[in-house]
Structure 1
């Protein structure tokens, strides 16, 4: 049983961490190697042209031969339906080819574009022939692959033709077996309408592609170049009512080379007039489109789109910073206003206190003490907080200590002068003073009943007590009759 040590784990971790770095180092070395010299850069550009043309040509030719392999044959297929299928396929294939190869392409995957860029200086004249030959090689490879894919359909028809069972129109015409790779003019069309058709459409292609590649065109981002290029090529095929247009002669020169290589009839694969139209028929249209855009529509004085976008981003950042600064200033101003309002309120209250004077200060300091003393008196009297309390008592069969029969106060007070006037039956003022002096004693009643006779206990307001005023005898007509609560000595 194998064991994994800590050193082995560390070694694996180090390998995982270093692997991306090693790959990046390898890529950097390889990129430097393949572009170290000018010859290597040209060779790399030629490879890119071959791959790009192969990518966007093969799907279109496969779509055409897919329709030809149907039982009805190409001669029974309506031209509008063929245009729809080929245009949709061309749109997607051109878009994908541009996405894959445009970043490294120096010939723009099209012989006419290679020549136009050579005129403008974007591509050198001595590199242009290599790129055009590479594009023709890409067309040759794509047509060869398509013939190989559909060889099971092509071989029986070709054998029948070789045996003399089929006429030449079934092979070499615009609706024949090899129409998908040689692209010959229909017999029903004359050269004037055909030439006008392909000139106008090639000019439109050139203008749209130029607008997509123009760095000063702020309405088109660089990422829109593949979509715009594919859309205009697909539109050209869709609007091609005659069913014959030469938009890229590298494809058809390569296709006719494939025809000669496989079927061995160079005279029929390269008809003279048709071959001249394939090579030179699209150049006037592309030249017209390039000149129309760059001389009339474009304005090189404008800044590039990347510069405009950078300026727009900087302006947006400045606007955002200004908005944040305004927001912060507004918050600070609101906080300052709240602080000033609070300060003004404090000053107003202080001014009110100063306007009240010393009498208000004495009254404010006296009122809590007065309230506290009133609460103490009410607790000792155990009665509700009324200004005057009058209680009528009659005590029968009670003995209150050794002294004469009577009623003594059951109220406790820290000051005898604040509670006076506990009057009994036949007791005089002297007895009242004694009762007031002995106010701290508490007597309880065992049992008793209060009725008939009237005695009054009067308490005066606290303000009178503070001034030393003596309570007066209550009127005997005012009485409250009820049971006397039980008190116990404390």
Structure 2
């Protein structure tokens, strides 16, 4: 019995585990999985696809919101450190938490659901790339649920620190909702001096536009500068860059992330989480038109559909015949023929 685990590993084999991820890149083989039973296959075939996709979206949002709000909680609850500076990080830490959380969410959940994790991205996929409109409400509700659960669990884990901070603010006669308050751990609020909501709107719009453009460029199969293994980290880094640059002047950057955690804030700190300075509509809704505008710019001005077709990622709607018609119409086929004839003439001249 004791020798069985050793006998199944041949000389120079790698034991099953994380090493499976490198089995295509090393000479040494990885021990095979145990045989897959018919019971397992039957179970997997009976799983409702819509449920798997919705759960993957909820878990994906949870995976980046949870470390993001936890990093924010660590920063905010320790902001009054005696040294005058929190030793537990700042906006850089928060940006890194969201960036790595997004990358891990894409790696873990995107193979199941497509990895939208943002209502605006779901709407853009439906508008531009044929994602079924009937799935849109389910995806959006799942994304909001993921953020809501992440906010609840984080609040429970940090409740002693948040309670102490809340008690100190109440004793000083200060509110619990607003910038640098317990509620701001969960969702964003404008700074007291940001009374011009038009300025706040523009900040949110351009931040969301930037993130949307980065996402659309990263998932473009014709883009030669992003490999499939680097997409999760490139998207996460795009999100982090905006946090580092603009979180200090109030951004939300994702409807699901903001609305889900804002509901948690309303449950524990009152409905002022939605009414404070009339800001919540900007945080919740601006992400959608901004991302639609960003993807429109990419689709209408920067997309290279011919490059996608040539790499085998898509085909012409009318098949090969439609592609040939396009070549004739654009003159590309004639140019190719002339080029091939010229090369043939050069080769004949060399032979003579």
TM-score in terms of structure 2 length: 0.73
Indicate how the Cα distance of structure 1 residues 19 and 97 shifts in structure 2: closer, same or farther if over 3 A, else same: closer
Higher relative contact order (CA 8 A, sep 6+): 2
Which string of whole-angstrom CA distances, capped at 9 and with x for unpartnered residues, describes residues 358-403 of structure 1?
Answer: xxxxxxxxxxxxxxxxxxxxxxxxxxxxxxxxxxxxxxxxxxxxxx
SS at 1:123 equivalent: coil
Cα displacement (A) at 1:176: 1.1
Query: Is the 2:183–2:273 contact (alpha carbons within 8 Å) kept by the matching residues of 1?
Result: no
Cα displacement (A) at 1:103: 1.0
Q: Looking at secondary structure, tell me which structure has more helix per residue.
A: 2
TM-score in terms of structure 1 length: 0.53
Query: Is the 1:45–1:107 contact (alpha carbons within 8 Å) kept by the matching residues of 2?
Result: no
Map 1:12-411; keep pairs closer than 5 Å.
20-23=34-37, 25-34=38-47, 40-70=48-78, 72=80, 82-106=90-114, 108-159=116-167, 165-169=171-175, 171-189=176-194, 190-240=196-246, 242-263=248-269, 265-266=270-271, 268-271=272-275, 273-304=278-309, 306-307=311-312
Q: How far apart in 2 are the matches of 1:242 and 1:71?
A: 14
Cα displacement (A) at 1:95: 0.8
Cα displacement (A) at 1:185: 1.3
Q: Which runs of 5+ in 2 are unaligned?
A: 9-30, 314-352
Q: How far apart in 2 are the matches of 1:282 and 1:109?
A: 13
Cα displacement (A) at 1:209: 0.9
Q: Which runs of 5+ in 1 are unaligned?
A: 35-39, 309-490
Cα displacement (A) at 1:282: 1.8
Cα displacement (A) at 1:18: 11
Indicate how the Cα distance of structure 1 residues 192 and 96 shifts in structure 2: closer, same or farther if over 3 A, else same: same
Query: Is the 2:64–2:98 contact (alpha carbons within 8 Å) kept by the matching residues of 1?
Result: yes
Query: Is the 1:200–1:285 contact (alpha carbons within 8 Å) kept by the matching residues of 2?
Result: yes
Q: How many residues align?
A: 282
Which string of whole-angstrom CA distances, capped at 9 and with x for unpartnered residues, describes residues 190-245 of structure 1?
Answer: 22322222222211111111111112223322222101111100111111164311
Cα displacement (A) at 1:130: 1.0
Structure of higher CA gyration radius: 1
Cα displacement (A) at 1:307: 3.6
Root-mean-square deviation (Å):
2.8
Cα displacement (A) at 1:68: 2.1
